[in-house]
Structure 1
Amino acid sequence: MPTTTSRAPPASRDGAASGVEQTAYEELADAPVTPMALEEFIGRSVHAPQTLRGREVRLLGFVSAGKSPDTPGTSTA
């Protein structure tokens, strides 16, 4: 999960400053596929896209209708 390192100044009328928090992300494990919460993936893609380049990610933490293909006893055929 990300850790907050600093906070930028509040936004000004001319748009020169931003109130977005600056975030530092932990190094990803050296694995063929990295499991990652959807929230972290979105944060990395916006604030630190270089941490995702060349990585295969398995997204976790979102809901969809029906059973998961990972649920025992379900068939994809």
Structure 2
Amino acid sequence: MPNITVRGISNELHKALKAQAKSNGQSMEAEVRSILEKHVTPQTNPLVDLFWATRDIATEIPLEPRQVIPPRVDFSE
């Protein structure tokens, strides 16, 4: 498994990361891994997935011809 090293982070960032890891009950390394996975791994959207899975179906659905909408009733008398 590949490793990375991040240098030059501020003391404030280090303290914040340490506190966040502690509040989540995990090590700083696990916290950084979690953050990277959340923000770097492509996220899927169920609606987009549904669109791509069904995009060709619409061409097979027969559509009724459009009908002319009747004029509105005038109540201004």
Decide which structure has the larger Cα Rg and report it.
Answer: 2
After TM superposition, the score normalised by the length of structure 2 is 0.21
Q: Greater helix percent: which structure?
A: 2
More RCO (CA 8 Å, sep 6+): 1
Q: Greater strand percent: which structure?
A: 1
After TM superposition, the score normalised by the length of structure 1 is 0.21
